[in-house]
Amino acid sequence: MIEQEDPSRDRLKQHFAKRVIHQARQVLEVWQRLQQVEWNAVDMAELVEANLGLLRYAERFEQAVHAQLAASIGQCLGAVEANRGRLNSQLITELNQLMQRLSRTGLRHGDQYEQTFLPPLRKPVYLALQDFERAERLAQQLEFFGLTAQALDSANAFRAAMTERHPAAILMEVDFAGPGIGLQLASEAQQGLEQKLPLLFFSHEDTDTPTRLAAVRAGGQEFFTGNLDASSLIERIEVLTHVSQYDPYKVLIIDDSRAQATHTERVLNSAGIVTRTLTEPIQAMAELADFQPDLIILDMYMPDCNGPELAKVIRHNDRYVSVPIIFLSAEDDLDKQLDAMSEGGDDFLTKPIKPRHLIATVRNRASRARNLKSRMVRDSLTGLYNHTHTLQLLEDARFRARRDGQPLSFAMLDIDHFKRVNDTYGHPMGDRVIKSLALFLKQRLRKTDHIGRYGGEEFAVVLPDTDAVTAAKVLDEIRQRFSEIVYPAQPQDLSCTFSCGIAELRGELDSNLLSKQADEALYVAKHGGRNRVAVHSE
């Protein structure tokens, strides 16, 4: 006789598992807060306590994945404590990777786990738009991508929702419920909150400076105008609500004095910034290609090559023309400082410098540089890397794979019958499908994978440390899930599929040949009936 699973016992197990998820989110919230401050004993104690709670719950309720992650996080935090409370780049990187994994753990039926993308807070996004039907359509799109959304149709409905539950984020039209009322409602919602809610504003028309200033004062972190782009909205909401979007800033320190470089490293590490030090400036270009820093801190006076000379060499390479360079020196002659800045520097800091000043300068410069680079190397429709930058990332990944003896796969994807979609439903629907697949890939692939829009309806994915068999399994799962999305449309609802070709790096293959092989495999998938994944075979 087969023993039946007790439904009440199964519900109890699910309840306990959710308690573990809740505790995991507390750990993630503390971690996210730490990215905005300089770490100290109080912050460390709070993170240690939250993680111990996660470990206890996970072991008690037999949630093996969470227990393993909590134990690993505990080991990292123990290493920080053993290092007299000091962070270093290796520990920052390890902790960030563990937090990425923790933010991706979610429950399935039967108490199984999958690597699904869950926000730290499973709260709804409130949508307050003048056009209620539009808000409902937007809510449906958000839910395709795992975000719960609630459309609200009046000021009273918004206030009632806020009283009942605080959201993960708010999208507020400036004139929701009347001219300027949206701004007032948003400002009301933020009053008395120690930690402000992520708030995004929208206006059909381009607005004047006083309106935007009012939005900033109400706590607005983004302002959309014109056509509300669901892809951009979802991406921005994810950045504001998901701890896993956090990626530590990377700083390359070039200084011939090991003692000074170590001091700078310690200051930046204490704020969760990853560093790498170089005492031989002549090796700078190779280190830049390998480390890909967000910012460079450069000593003015070095024996073999001074700072301004090295800044010129770096600026000669188009890839690093926008990477901020900060000179850090005891030089207090203003004319010499200005001369150095004219050679390619962005800032000049005089030693000795207060740690808080250094940290704030690095964070601000690195943040702006990331935003600028993102605009330069990304496709405007999808937010994915553009064709040129994707190939550059493939070449970088090929270099590292050869050096480290690790596998590398390259995939090319093409939406099936895309011309028919444009002809039947119009180009706006075609754009919607393209943005939908872009978001789908971003949510279901690792942060270490590079996703690009190759052109038109064609996409490319660089998968480091991944052989072709594994890549095929991952992308086939994405292919199946993507085909299940239904887009409400006329004359009938629309579903789309894609075909995929994969090639694995072998022998002396260069990037061009690897790309060509992936393209050949895509051709095989297309001519084999579409809606399938094919792997290139020798």
d(CA 77, CA 51): 9
Domain total for the chain?
4
Same-domain pairing of 420 and 343: no
Each residue of 382-406: pLDDT tens digit?
888 999 999 989 998 998 899 889 9
Lowest mean pLDDT among 191-195, 201-205, 221-225, 278-282: 191-195
Same-domain pairing of 408 and 300: no
Give a yes or no: residue 98 inside a domain: yes
Q: What is the pLDDT of residue 460?
A: 96
b vs e for 174-206, b when ≥16 Cβ sit within 10 Å of the residue's Cβ? bbbbeeebbbebbbebeeeeeeebbbbbbbbee
Q: What is the pLDDT of residue 99?
A: 85
Same-domain pairing of 517 and 420: yes
Same-domain pairing of 469 and 450: yes
Give a yes or no: residue 381 inside a domain: no
Q: Minimal CA–CA distance to 269: which of 433, 404, 85? A: 85
Q: Are 502 and 533 in contact (CB under 8 A)?
A: yes
Sequence-distant (6+) residues with CB within 8 A of 367 are: 249
Same-domain pairing of 501 and 391: yes
Q: What is the pLDDT of residue 112?
A: 31
Same-domain pairing of 255 and 361: yes
Same-domain pairing of 20 and 85: yes
Where is the domain boundary, 222, 241, 260? 241
Give a yes or no: residue 58 inside a domain: yes
d(CA 419, CA 398): 33
Q: What is the pLDDT of residue 244?
A: 44
Where is the domain boundary, 65, 84, 115? 115
Q: Are 44 and 67 in contact (CB under 8 A)?
A: no
Sequence-distant (6+) residues with CB within 8 A of 421 are: 415, 429, 430, 433, 494, 496
Q: What is the pLDDT of residue 208?
A: 87
Give a yes or no: residue 458 inside a domain: yes
pLDDT at 241 over 90: no
114-131: average pLDDT: 65
Each residue of 428-467: pLDDT tens digit?
889 889 988 988 888 788 878 999 999 889 999 999 999 9
207-228: average pLDDT: 86
Each residue of 169-187: pLDDT tens digit?
999 999 999 998 999 999 9
The interaxial angle of helices 64-82 and 41-60, nearest 10 deg, is 150
Same-domain pairing of 395 and 530: yes
Domain span at residue 66? Answer: 7-115
CATH number at residue 78: 1.20.120
Where is the domain boundary, 115, 139, 156? 115
Give a yes or no: residue 145 inside a domain: yes
Residue 102 Cα distances to 14, 53, 80, 310, 464, angstroms: 18, 14, 19, 41, 21
Same-domain pairing of 286 and 351: yes
Same-domain pairing of 421 and 509: yes
Average pLDDT, the chain: 84
Same-domain pairing of 525 and 402: yes
Each residue of 312-348: pLDDT tens digit?
888 888 788 888 999 888 777 777 778 777 777 788 8
Same-domain pairing of 201 and 268: no
